[in-house]
Amino acid sequence: MDSELASETSLLPESLLLGVNDVDPVFEQNADGRSPFLFTSDHYGRRLPEKLGKLGLPDSELDRHIAWDIGIAGVAERLSKLLDVHLIAQRYSRLVIDCNRPPHVASSIPLLSEATTIPGNEGISREEAATRRREIFDPYHRRIDEAIDRRARDKRPTILVSLHSFTPVYAGVARPWHIGTLYHRDTQLPPLMLSALRAEGDLVVGDNEPYAVSDITDYTIPVHGEARGLINTGIEIRQDLIADQSGQRQWAERLARILHGIEATLFGEVRV
């Protein structure tokens, strides 16, 4: 028995990055949620694998938007509960590996973010980069793939919504939008989202602002949304609006109402 176990264990890939004190990169909530929406959160967390220390950065930098999408975790979890949506999120900092970048682009493991150099990312070998991908990026995207596969097998629709937040000031320039939709090839969901957000009356709504989706600067929407033919959009909420729990709750409730209405428009009826 012992020898069988030992030989099975030896078949598992050895972890070179994540150790016993590190958490699983993938966080999931409502895996059996009944909603047609599927939420992803690429920049949900700001954990660092113990082996990487603090990437050579002071805590003040690791608190900033360069490390994660401030506030989005609280919005995503509440929204997922309100609408019974499966949420798949990634717990490690985007400074370790950005889960919304193709792994071959330079910003996947950034040497510079806004005006901050990342000492722990300087001079890393191809093997070290591949390890970050294998232990953090791949499990997260594999889980999204599996979830979409399972829904397709069960003949359930999937509307992919990628949840993000953006810093109110970037490189010294203030951003006026409260919220923005981000999209590229989908022509169904982004217009519905834009018109619903504009109908709120009190919001400055970004149409592909502060970012637009592209195959070079994004991964989740092009790969899981567009390549698989799913209705999809990204949503970006300004971080100062969701910095505390009260803001997160208000935005989750607002978006729950809006997405519920969009579901009714797309499917002609609302689930009971």
77 belongs to the binding site for Zn ion (CB under 5 A): no
Stretch that binds Zn ion, among 51-59, 162-170, 195-203, 204-212 (CB under 5 A): 162-170
CB of 7 to Zn ion, least distance (A): 42
User: 42 or 226: whose CB is closer to Zn ion?
Assistant: 42
Q: How far is CA 184 from CA 45, 146, 225, 229, 231, in A?
A: 25, 23, 10, 13, 11
65 belongs to the binding site for Zn ion (CB under 5 A): no
Count of helix runs (H) and strand runs (E) in the chain: 7, 11
Position among 26, 37, 38, 43 found at the interface with Zn ion (CB under 5 A): 43
For residue 179, give the 3-state DSSP assignment. Answer: strand
**In terms of Cα–Cα distance, which of 89, 85, 45, 94 is closest to 66?**
94
Stretch that binds Zn ion, among 2-10, 136-144, 157-165, 262-270 (CB under 5 A): 157-165
46 belongs to the binding site for Zn ion (CB under 5 A): no
Q: Could you say which DSSP state residue 199 is in?
A: H
Report the distance separating Cα 166 and Cα 181, nearest Å: 12
Position among 132, 164, 224, 238 found at the interface with Zn ion (CB under 5 A): 164
Report the distance separating Cα 88 and Cα 25, nearest Å: 10
Report the distance separating Cα 194 and Cα 14, nearest Å: 46
User: 22 or 69: whose CB is closer to Zn ion?
Assistant: 69
218 belongs to the binding site for Zn ion (CB under 5 A): no
User: 184 or 263: whose CB is closer to Zn ion?
Assistant: 184
69 belongs to the binding site for Zn ion (CB under 5 A): yes
238 belongs to the binding site for Zn ion (CB under 5 A): no
Binding site for Zn ion (CB under 5 A): 43, 69, 164
